[in-house]
Amino acid sequence: MFESYKNNRLKKICLIYTGGTIGMTKDGKGVLRPPDNPEDFTKIAPEINEIAEVDFVALMNKDSTNIVPSDWTAMAQAVYDRRNDGYAGFVIAHGTDTMHFSSSALAFALGPGLSFPVVFTGAQTTPAIAHGDARINLVRAIKVAQEDFAEVVISFGDYVFRGCRTQKKDEKRFDAFESPAIYPIADITEKILRYPIARSRSDSDVTNEINLIPDYADGVIQVGLIPGLKPDLLIPLIENPECKGVVLQSFGAGNVPDDGIYAFGDFIRRAVSYNKPVVITSQFPANSTLETHYAPGVAAVEAGALATGNMTSAAATVKFRWVLARVEKEIQENIISTNNKLSRIKDLMGEVYVREMD
């Protein structure tokens, strides 16, 4: 029995299992695989039942490398369907490789109306590793989900991060994630130490009304700008009808080559003429690509590329897919015309929706 909870009524937490290392077990051949019976998952940390009343949902059982946007939709829907079932919060157990993509996706899907925490967690080791992080991360996430948060977060190691501002930085160490542009929103100690930037259940803009928008367009490809990349090599990419837009991952603070045969201006203008947006992200989102003072960044934006502020590359890519799906739907429903597609995408990309940039 764990002290602090002895005589309190336990809060209800919904634990959604999607797969990942945190639940992996070794089979007879010594191969790591997801548990045959996902219910076994809760047994890795029996004490969670002493700190909360945990309902378990085995939503899917996937290595996170194989998670696709329709899985994001399923996760968002699973939370949405249970939003009025009396849960203090939700925990989603997920593989680490693409957790930051999924947490970004759910942040956009559930939107600013979210009035409770949706806590992603996972692990670098399987539960079988005695000194590993599977059990502790799960227990901590169950704790975090009861706290005063009203947003999608990642609880991992000693920190709680905003879900749409996080990226994976290390494939081995227990501090696997970082939030490059803002501080973590809480430290995990005996108490969960919230920072003022964390969104509270009592914040004035928390409406209790979730406007669920769980769709994401496909056909978005992410290309790194590397010295010597001739934009001509990428022309077949944007001419492919399956391609609906391009994310260019820039050097530094959003600079894009603007000199000679390596200049990207014509490529961007060509993509824009095909009605396909070009989004510029940075691997180092500490600085805003919007406020670039360097000529090469200015040239790209002038050619029609969309800057992404200090969003992480993962959040920017997910948001781009989410905006694209929204705008495609608006065109289908004749709310806007195809001619206004790019300007509508630009507006939505530039608008802060769930504090994904500032």
Q: What is the footprint of other proteins within residues 85-104 (CB under 8 A)?
A: 96-98, 101-102
Q: Least distance to other proteins from the beta carbon of 30, Å?
A: 7
Q: Which of 11, 262, 272, 350 binds other proteins (CB under 8 A)?
A: 262
Residue placing its CB nearer to other proteins in the complex, 143 or 270: 270
Answer whether 72's CB lies under 8 Å from 31's CB.
Answer: no
Q: What is the footprint of other proteins within residues 183-222 (CB under 8 A)?
A: 216, 218-222
Which DSSP helix (H) or strand (E) runs through 273?
helix 265-273
Q: What is the footprint of other proteins within residues 29-48 (CB under 8 A)?
A: 29-32
In terms of DSSP bridges, do strands 186-188 and 192-194 run parallel, antiparallel, or are they unpaired? Answer: antiparallel
- Of 108, 328, 316, nearest in space to 305 by CA: 316
Give 39's DSSP letter: G
- Of 210, 94, 202, nearest in space to 153 by CA: 94
Q: Least distance to other proteins from the beta carbon of 189, Å?
A: 25
Q: Least distance to other proteins from the beta carbon of 268, Å?
A: 14
User: In angstroms, rounded to a whole number, what is the distance separating the alpha carbons of residues 57 and 205?
Assistant: 30
Q: What is the footprint of other proteins within residues 120-159 (CB under 8 A)?
A: none
The answer to the question of residue 223 lying near other proteins (CB under 8 A) is yes
User: In angstroms, rounded to a whole number, what is the distance separating the alpha carbons of residues 168 and 341?
Assistant: 32
Interacting span for other proteins (CB under 8 A) from 48-56, 128-136, 146-154, 232-240? 232-240
Residue placing its CB nearer to other proteins in the complex, 64 or 121: 64
Residue placing its CB nearer to other proteins in the complex, 87 or 156: 156
The answer to the question of residue 108 lying near other proteins (CB under 8 A) is no
Token pair listed for 325:
């799906």
Residue placing its CB nearer to other proteins in the complex, 88 or 223: 223
Give just the sign of the alpha carbon dihedral 310, 312, 318, 321: positive
Name residue 139's amino acid. Answer: V
Q: Least distance to other proteins from the beta carbon of 37, Å?
A: 20
Q: Least distance to other proteins from the beta carbon of 297, Å?
A: 8
**Contacts for 32 with CB less than 8 Å, ≥ 6 apart:** 21, 24, 25, 26, 126
Q: Which of 2, 4, 172, 333 binds other proteins (CB under 8 A)?
A: 172
Q: Which of 43, 173, 191, 329 binds other proteins (CB under 8 A)?
A: 173
Binding mask 305-324 for other proteins (x = CB under 8 A): --------xx--x-------
Interacting span for other proteins (CB under 8 A) from 41-49, 60-68, 126-134, 330-338? 60-68
Which DSSP helix (H) or strand (E) runs through 81?
helix 69-81
The answer to the question of residue 295 lying near other proteins (CB under 8 A) is yes
Strand partners, 16: 57, 92
Q: Least distance to other proteins from the beta carbon of 266, Å?
A: 15
Q: How crowded is residue 186: how many other Cβ atoms within 10 Å of its Cβ?
A: 24
Q: Which of 3, 190, 205, 242 binds other proteins (CB under 8 A)?
A: 242
Q: Least distance to other proteins from the beta carbon of 8, Å?
A: 39
Answer whether 155's CB lies under 8 Å from 144's CB.
Answer: yes
User: In angstroms, rounded to a whole number, what is the distance separating the alpha carbons of residues 92 and 198?
Assistant: 19
Q: How crowded is residue 267: how many other Cβ atoms within 10 Å of its Cβ?
A: 24
